């Protein structure tokens, strides 16, 4: 098994919006795992002719503010287990919050390739807002607007190098 991208991050950063963007051109077959769990969603996409699978580890958890740290930990561990490349999504408009640090800490200990995705960089005025995410120590930070699509191509160009 290869070419698997997992999207991780706390609620409301834009994981599902990114998932929809990565799978939009491929008439994605989106399915729940075995109907038992609703905690992650699988879809398919392709980039420059390279097919891939995407896992939205946030699943159907709809922006709940009261999500437990344990739940996030489980989602990140699933991503580390199942994916070749992990997209760690954070929100450039809020900056780093505690749950982001929790996720970053788990990812630092894994050997999986991680890209830090600073989402909601919708326009040039927001470009400088993603600089603080370099402090995770997870490498390059990629600006994205999952809402309008800008940055998606650069991210996919990078991702496919790790398949
Ligand atoms: P998730 O909980 O991480 O799956 O986040 P969602 O994809 O459900 O998005 C949470 C909220 O952020 C929604 O209101 C989205 O419309 C909004 N959102 C997602 N991506 C962007 C973006 O690139 N820019 C802006 N301004 N809002 C976004
Ligand atoms: Mg979601």
The CATH code of the domain that includes 98 is 3.40.50.300
Residue with tokens 């450039």: 92
Q: How far apart are CA 136 and CA 31, in angstroms?
A: 32
Among 17, 26, 39, which Cα is nearest to 120's?
17
Q: Which atom of ligand 1 is nearest to the CA of 144?
A: 23
What's the complex ipTM?
0.99
How remote is the CA of residue 11 from the centroid of ligand 1, in Å?
9
Q: Is 149 annotated as a binding residue?
A: no
- Cβ(88)–Cβ(113) below 8 Å: no
| DSSP characters over 11-61 | TTSSHHHHHHHHHGGGT---EESTTT--S-EEEEEEETTEEEEEEETTTT-
How remote is the CA of residue 38 from the centroid of ligand 2, in Å?
11
Domain count of the fold of the chain: 1
Give the rounded distance of the alpha carbon of 127 from its chain centre. 19
Q: How far apart are CA 141 and CA 134, in angstroms?
A: 6
**Span 16-68, pLDDT tens digits:** 999 999 997 554 455 555 444 456 788 899 999 999 999 998 876 555 556 67
Confidence bin at 88 (pLDDT 50/70/90): very high
What integer pLDDT is reported at residue 65 of this predicted model? 57
What's the domain range around 145?
4-162
- What's the pTM? 0.92
**Distances, alpha carbon 64 to alpha carbons 8, 10, 90, 150, in Å:** 15, 10, 16, 26
Closest ligand, as measured to the CA of 91: 1
Pocket flag, ligand 1, residue 147 (CB < 6 Å)? yes
Q: Is 17 annotated as a binding residue?
A: no
């Amino acid at each position: 098994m290869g070419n698997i991208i997992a999207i991780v991050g706390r609620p409301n950063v834009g994981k599902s919006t990114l998932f929809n963007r990565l799978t939009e051109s491929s008439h994605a077959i989106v399915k729940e795992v075995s109907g038992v769990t609703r905690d992650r969603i699988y879809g398919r996409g392709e980039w420059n002719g390279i097919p891939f699978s995407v896992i939205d580890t946030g699943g159907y958890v709809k922006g709940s503010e009261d999500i437990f740290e344990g739940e996030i930990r489980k989602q990140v561990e699933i991503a580390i287990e199942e994916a070749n490349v992990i997209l760690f999504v954070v929100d450039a408009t809020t900056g780093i919050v505690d749950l982001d640090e929790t996720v970053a800490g788990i990812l630092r200990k894994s050997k999986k390739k991680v890209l830090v995705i600073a989402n909601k960089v919708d326009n040039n005025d927001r470009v400088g807002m993603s600089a603080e995410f370099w402090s995770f120590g997870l490498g390059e930070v990629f600006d994205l607007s999952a809402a309008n699509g800008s940055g998606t191509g650069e991210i996919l160009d990078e991702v496919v190098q790790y398949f």
